[in-house]
Chain A
Amino acid sequence: MEVVDLVKRYGAKTAVDGLSLTVETGSITAILGPNGAGKSTTLEICEGYRRADGGRVRVLGRDPIADRRELAPRVGVMLQAGGAWSAAHADEMLRYVASLYAHPLPVRALMERLGLGSCGRTPYRRLSGGEQQRLGLAMAVVGRPELVFLDEPTAGLDPQSRRSTWELVEQLVADGVTVVLTTHYLEEAERLASWVHVIDRGRLLTSGTPHQLTSAGAKGTLSFRARPGLALDGLARGLPKGYLVETEPPGCYRILGAMTPQILAAVTAWCADLGVMPEGLAVERHSLEDVFLELTGRELRA
């Protein structure tokens, strides 16, 4: 899947502003960004629901709107919410969607796998939010698509539902399905995705594996407590250029920069020279959340 210079405007507001990204076949790709970043709009253009105002989108090598008939059976879509008749029973709904495909998955087994085994006869409107979301996921995958779009598949789910959703997504990819999901949960991107695109205000900020993103720039913090007023000049000599030392509040020492075993050794050696025992020594690698905050100045879940 390929998106090049995508632009989408709603009136005067530009929702997607020259976005380019690619999705590798057989991967789980997460599009990560805060609310209003343009995630859903991008997905809806890829799904063929909306027409782009500029740029080029290819899904499985096809145009999402012009080649809709050919793409529809090959692409599974999970909407952010809804997509079912409120009076339809859960199994009846899934059976109906399955009947639109040539080689659907067995409905019963799919419901069991998603923990929906006991809600077969329950009308859609009486399902819990988590059950509705999982049924939506089941409807997206029951036709055995090559590519699945999941728009915030675990938004508002309880931990158990989230886990069964994650397990299914991992199973999909193990079986050769390509998954594109949007999320504003970092844990989700870090746990599931082999590739993450971080977007904000309709633009791509950065891309990479979750590991690359969190170690890129390799920012980190080493902190400890000791008596206030230690002479810092010895420490500065022991550290490479570019490292910052903070001593606010007094007695709390923080070294900022790429954290390596050598840096840790230099800091402890300096402490040994001064005869100081560092207390509460901790090294923190930056999380995706910190990376995001640095890139956008915005909280993800704001």
Chain B
Amino acid sequence: MSPLTHSPAPGAAPMSRMVASHAVMETRLLLRNGEQVLLAVVIPVLVLLGGAEAGNVIDLGSGRRIDVLTPGVMALAVMSTAFTSLAIATAFERRYGVLKLLGASPLPRTGLLLGKVGSLLAVEACQLALIALVGIALGWRPAGGLGGTLGAGLLLLLGTAAFAGLGLLMAGTLRAEATLAAANLVYVVLLAAGAVVLPVSAYPKAMEVVLAVLPSGALAQGLRDVTSGAGLDRTAVVVLTVWAVAAAALTARTFRWD
């Protein structure tokens, strides 16, 4: 056997290497998990294909169907990754003592968070690129030019922050099984009733205000507006920012590491 000495040589790796290593590890684990891939890629693409082919069975309101659908499915993808996947993965990390072990490792909590964000953004980039490609293939023609793209980018980042904050809030307070159930339930409820894929105009008038202040409604409707050339909805930006800040503050107070 090769000589192996345990003589002490302590030291932390550079922060950038730790964060990158953590991001790669989380991404690999996510891709290995069939249910997560289903949630991240298969369901959004199916919704996009199905919605585009469903003709007039589902009323998507005014505008070309694919132009209404694609930004909504992008919001759905963000919700699945930043909220549902992150909540479930983190809850089980807590349950299996991964977070506890990392607490004694050189990776600081900020590094852990940055690693998670890195993994999250990498997965989302792939999801969004795929959805955009499928959308374009089905005839999606986003309007709004460069300003619209930047506005969409801002909404996607804020939406990610808001949903990730809520996901971590859930993962840090509930048991792993409860998180698994609740994160999926919230996903389904918001998908159906949160103005994600269906535009706000498809819901009863009385729900309009509620939908506008839900993170799902704010993100999806904001994306629909900005990619249709209607400009960046300031209200959506404010709503998502408030959710992000509130969720982060609450998570920081309540998160239990073991």
A and B bind? yes
Binding site for B on A (CB under 8 A): 47-49, 69, 72-75, 77, 79, 81-88, 92, 96-97, 99-103, 105-106, 109-110, 112-113, 139, 141, 143-146, 171-172, 175-177
Q: Find out whether the CB atom of B18 lies under 8 angstroms from the CB atom of A88.
A: no
Q: Find out whether the CB atom of B93 lies under 8 angstroms from the CB atom of A83.
A: no
- Which residue from A49, A87, A177 sits with its C-beta under 8 Å from B32? A87
Q: Find out whether the CB atom of A83 lies under 8 angstroms from the CB atom of B97.
A: yes
Type the 1/0 row for B17-45, where 1 means its CB is closer than 8 Å to any CB of A. 11001100100110011000000000000
Q: Find out whether the CB atom of B98 lies under 8 angstroms from the CB atom of A79.
A: no
Q: Is B4 interfacial (CB-CB < 8 Å)?
A: yes
Q: Which residues of A contact B4 (CB under 8 A)?
A: 105-106, 109-110, 113
Q: Which residues of A contact B98 (CB under 8 A)?
A: 82-85
Q: Find out whether the CB atom of B21 lies under 8 angstroms from the CB atom of A84.
A: no
Q: Find out whether the CB atom of B25 lies under 8 angstroms from the CB atom of A100.
A: no
Q: How far is the CA of A172 from the CA of B5 in the complex (A)?
A: 8
* Nearest CB in chain A: distance from B161 CB, A: 24
Q: Find out whether the CB atom of A100 lies under 8 angstroms from the CB atom of B18.
A: yes
Type the 1/0 row for B129-147, where 1 means its CB is closer than 8 Å to any CB of A. 0000000000000000000
Chain A residue nearest to B2 in the complex (CB): A109
15 pairs, A vs B, C-beta closer than 8 Å: A49-B103, A72-B105, A73-B11, A77-B104, A79-B100, A87-B29, A88-B25, A92-B28, A96-B25, A99-B21, A100-B12, A109-B1, A112-B2, A144-B6, A177-B6
A sample of 19 more A-B contacts (CB under 8 A), given A72-B104, A87-B33, A102-B12, is A48-B103, A77-B104, A79-B97, A79-B100, A82-B100, A83-B98, A84-B96, A85-B92, A85-B93, A85-B96, A92-B28, A100-B12, A100-B106, A109-B2, A112-B2, A143-B10, A144-B9, A144-B10, A177-B7
Q: How far is the CA of A75 from the CA of B11 in the complex (A)?
A: 10
Chain A residue nearest to B22 in the complex (CB): A96
Q: Is B207 interfacial (CB-CB < 8 Å)?
A: no
Q: Find out whether the CB atom of A72 lies under 8 angstroms from the CB atom of B12.
A: yes
Q: How far is the CA of A227 from the CA of B21 in the complex (A)?
A: 76
* Nearest CB in chain B: distance from A242 CB, A: 48
Q: Which residues of A contact B18 (CB under 8 A)?
A: 99-100
Main DSSP-derived SS at the B contact region: loop
Binding site for A on B (CB under 8 A): 1-2, 4-13, 17-18, 21-22, 25, 28-29, 32-33, 92-93, 96-98, 100-101, 103-108, 258
Known: A48-B104, A69-B108, A85-B29. A144 touches B8 (CB 8 A): yes
Q: Find out whether the CB atom of B93 lies under 8 angstroms from the CB atom of A176.
A: no
Known: A47-B104, A49-B103, A72-B12. A100 touches B6 (CB 8 A): no
Q: How far is the CA of A172 from the CA of B7 in the complex (A)?
A: 8
Chain B residue nearest to A79 in the complex (CB): B97
Query: 4 closest Cβ contacts across the A-B interface?
Result: A102-B11, A82-B97, A83-B101, A99-B21
* Nearest CB in chain A: distance from B18 CB, A: 5
Q: Find out whether the CB atom of B2 lies under 8 angstroms from the CB atom of A106.
A: yes
Q: How far is the CA of A267 from the CA of B103 in the complex (A)?
A: 61
* Nearest CB in chain B: distance from A148 CB, A: 9
Among B6, B17, B22, B93, chain A packs the most CB atoms within 10 A around the CB of: B6
Chain A residue nearest to B258 in the complex (CB): A49
- Which residue from B1, B32, B101 sits with its C-beta under 8 Å from A112? B1
- Which residue from A49, A102, A176 sits with its C-beta under 8 Å from B7? A176
* Nearest CB in chain A: distance from B89 CB, A: 9
Q: Which residues of A contact B33 (CB under 8 A)?
A: 87
Q: Find out whether the CB atom of A77 lies under 8 angstroms from the CB atom of B6.
A: no
Q: Which residues of B contact A101 (CB under 8 A)?
A: 10-13, 106
Q: How far is the CA of A175 from the CA of B4 in the complex (A)?
A: 10
Known: A83-B98, A96-B25, A99-B17. A177 touches B11 (CB 8 A): no
Chain A residue nearest to B3 in the complex (CB): A109
Q: Which residues of A contact B8 (CB under 8 A)?
A: 74, 144-146, 175-177
Chain A residue nearest to B107 in the complex (CB): A100
Q: Which residues of B contact A86 (CB under 8 A)?
A: 92, 96
Q: How far is the CA of A105 from the CA of B28 in the complex (A)?
A: 23
Q: Which residues of B contact A87 (CB under 8 A)?
A: 29, 32-33
Q: Which residues of A contact B101 (CB under 8 A)?
A: 77, 79, 82-84, 97, 139
Q: Which residues of B contact A92 (CB under 8 A)?
A: 25, 28
Chain A residue nearest to B26 in the complex (CB): A85
Q: Which residues of A contact B29 (CB under 8 A)?
A: 85, 87-88
* Nearest CB in chain B: distance from A85 CB, A: 6
